[in-house]
Amino acid sequence: MTSSYDHIEILVEDNLAFLVFNRPDQLNAMNRKMMSEIIQGIEAINLNEQVKVAIIKGKGRAFMAGADIKEYASQTPEEFNTFQENGKKLYESIEQSPKPWIAAVDGFALGGGCEIALCCDLILASSRSALGLPEVHLSLIPGGGGTQRLTQKVGINIAKEMLFTGGQYTAAELYSRGVVNRVFDDNNFDEEVLAFAKKLARRSTQSIAQLKWLVQLSLTSVLFEDRIDEEGRAVEQLFLTDEARQAIKAFISKTKD
């Protein structure tokens, strides 16, 4: 199954979905129309019960080189506010999805592109990739949650360095800082991402959904004791499902052989 838009593509193969940024001549820079299409695409994937794992990637030399600066600069205050609100909706629709979302970064992921990667559950990057939040060079700051999500991942000191300098960082550097989960060779990047996603798709969807929610809960101001209680309720709920019962029985049967 494939779905086409003007600036993105959506492909669904078996239980994997691919949302592909498709403005390669513009390094997949995001304009208002593209943002709207991305939101629509994410919602379609989230509602598709066939999909167990979603992957975001870009065509050409970039994952996404941020916002389309020409359009961005010409916005009225009202258009700017709408753009920001839609951006918030985009990022939250990934984070709040029960499905795991993978950012497959091959090339540049800057500004809004880096922010999209940061709100994904996992970042897989090719060795040639560069990620960063360069907004300070335009006398701006990241406006899509980059300051908060980056700090959650790397800590305050490193986040300040990266944000203050607005530098670009290699996949290897960000792997060492805990931002990137895996770094794959450029020549077989797509194959490695596909193999990783297929392995993840074999995991229980209900377990992954609970794990994603509980990990996100750990970043909130909810009391630790209450978070532990939520974990307990989740494992009890899963334990009583037919899927878990069958998996436990299969494991016991296998260990007896």
Q: Which residues are catalytic?
A: 115, 135
Q: Which two tokens stand for residue 205?
A: 């969807």
- Beta strand spans in 53-148 (E): 53-58, 62-64, 101-105, 108-110, 122-126, 130-132
**Rounded CA separation 92/171 (Å):** 24
8-state DSSP, 179? S
Name residue 104's beta-bridge partners.
124
Q: Is-contact 117 159, C-beta < 8 A?
A: no
What's the maximum distance between 2 C-alpha atoms anywhere in the chain? 69
Phi first, then psi: give them for residue 179, nearest 5 degrees: -85, -45
Structural contact between residues 98 and 212, judged by C-beta atoms closer than 8 angstroms: yes
Q: Residue 79: which residues within 8 A CB-CB, separation 6 or more?
A: 32
| The pair of three-digit structure tokens given for residue 22, joined into one six-digit string | 């498709």
Bridge partner residues of 2 (DSSP):
11
Which of these, 109, 108, 107, 34, lies nearest to 72 by C-alpha position? 34
Pick the closest to residue 6 from 18, 120, 17, 30 (CA basis).
30
CB contact set of 10 (below 8 Å; sequence gap of 6+) = 2, 3, 4, 17, 18, 19, 20, 41, 44, 45
